[in-house]
Chains A and B, each alone.
Chain A
Amino acid sequence: MPASAIADGLRRIGGGTRRAVARLGFAARFAVAVVLHSPEGLRRLRLTLREIYFAGVLSLVIILVSGLFVGMVLALQGYDVLQRYGASESLGVMVALSLLRELGPVVAGLLFASRAGSAITAEIGLMKATEQLSAMEMMAVDPLARVVAPRFWGGVISMPLLAALFSTLGVYGAYLVGVKLIGLDAGAFWGNMQAGVDFREDVVNGIIKSFVFGVIVSLIAVFEGYDAKPTAEGVSTATTRTVVGSSLTILAADFVLTVFMFRGVGA
């Protein structure tokens, strides 16, 4: 391989790395700016409530239906395995722990990124492409406080609530399959669940996870929208980046959080 081709390759890698680091730095500064502008944005609560409606309430259908089916499938699969070892009465606790610790926050986070994160990015990106953000700046209104902060906090507040509803519907789906369809004893189903689920260890940790995922999705969504190229292609690329970036970051963050939260699991 000629030396010039190697030099070109190295230059490309160096340039790509430099751009990636610069973008990461910009994202970090953007995150700080969003937090600093939050009090200004949150003062007008109506704006944040509107975003909770768009990000949270309008995501309810996909979250509730998915939660119900995930719970029902978990119950079917779980019963199949547990009954081989004569532990089918542990179905309730198995489903509840799976949902509260992992599936609730993670699957709700992935669905939230696809449903609400992409919409937030597309909306902010299109506002940028149609000069609405510039118009706001020229009217002496800071888009970070008026547009970005309410959407960020709308997402952060909605996400734990959606994850809780996902888990609740999942548990109910498991009850329908385990108790109503298969015929397990309802008392054993609920009693074992109550005995096996620890509020601090399982419920609170699940809520913390979903809050962290809410911050991740909302921040990536508003950043990608704000940083989108003001063209149709730019907005489309930004939307895709939000879904892919949020999903991968959620999965990576879930692993890290699980390591810290459930250290007793491997012992």
Chain B
Amino acid sequence: MIALAPLASPTLDRTASIAVELDDVTFGYDRARPVLSGITMSIPRGQVVAIMGGSGCGKTTILRLIGGQLRPQTGRVLVGGRSVPDLDREALYAMRREIGMLFQFGALFTDMTVFENVAFPLREHTELSEDLIRDLVLMKLNGVGLRGSAGLKPSELSGGMARRVALARAIALDPMLVLYDEPFAGLDPISLGVVGQLIRQLNDALGITSVVVTHDVYESLKIVDYLYFVSGGRIVAQGTPDEVRASRDPFVRQFVDGEADGPVPFHVKSASLAEEFALDAR
């Protein structure tokens, strides 16, 4: 993989030691029910950091706050030294040209071929010639092992291949930051290993920073530098993979060992059994 200079004019500080910073962030779709409370995290440049937690715990919301699709109610969100909520539309779009995002199921454009999908950001944001775009797209596809599938439509790809194409598209403009939303969801073990390795290799080869939102513990522990555990909209644990493996924290143990009951209860909040079945009245 050949690392190229950024194709879009940079607006973010690519030399900042902290690529992404969230400081006491609170967010909710209404004031009464916060989705995230007091989230503070700091993601150093060049690292792969995982945000883990059960479904609906607010992991993807964190990605959307970083990408500027949502604005926090309180707190600060900084990317490359710039405060994301304070950016106007033009500045936000300029920032996004330096951020790649891989969506849960790839979100490839179904009316375009694999080649056109990867070429899309290049055609939208650069004035490169078609010959150069062709070479760049084939290089990106080669990086994810799919140069031979350039002419296929997304409907002709397996889940793992679609995820790899989306990854090639996410790095098309040589971003400083790539956000991954559940990159391992629904993949077979081989595809899962391939995508995991690609995340690590691309991060190191291109000198980017990666934020991976996932609930796949074992794959994450293999590839990431640091992990945050989110539950009920709060960070409940954090550490390096070794610290996580050795942790006695009940939440971390329940999550890592896949136990049904624990700090995250098996039963959702409900009336007591005695009340539900009117046992006292019998």
Contacts and interface: CB of A to CB of B under 8 A. Distances in A.
Interface of A: 127, 130-132, 134-135, 137-142, 146
Nearest to A54: B111
A130 B110 contact: yes
B103 A131 contact: yes
Contacts, number: 45
A134 B104 CA distance: 11
14 contacts: A130-B105, A131-B103, A131-B104, A131-B107, A132-B107, A132-B108, A134-B107, A137-B96, A138-B69, A138-B179, A139-B121, A140-B93, A140-B97, A141-B121
A135 B101 contact: yes
Contact of A139 (B69, B104, B105, B124): B124
Nearest to A138: B101
Nearest to A126: B110
Contacts of A142: 93
A222 B94 CA distance: 27
Given A132-B107, A139-B96, A140-B96, 6 more contacts: A127-B110, A132-B109, A135-B109, A140-B93, A140-B94, A142-B93
B171 to A, nearest CB: 12
Given A131-B105, A134-B69, A134-B103, A139 B120 contact: yes
B125 interface: yes
Interface in B45-75: 67, 69
A146 B111 CA distance: 13
Contacts of B179: 138
Nearest to A130: B107
Contacts of B120: 139, 141
Contacts of A138: 67, 69, 96, 99, 101, 179
A141 B67 contact: no
A132 B110 contact: yes
Contacts of A135: 101, 103, 107, 109
Contacts of B101: 135, 138-139
A141 B107 CA distance: 14
Contacts of A141: 120-121, 124
A129 B60 CA distance: 16
B8 to A, nearest CB: 8
A166 B193 CA distance: 58
B84 to A, nearest CB: 13
Contacts of B99: 138
A180 B105 CA distance: 60
Contacts of B97: 139-140
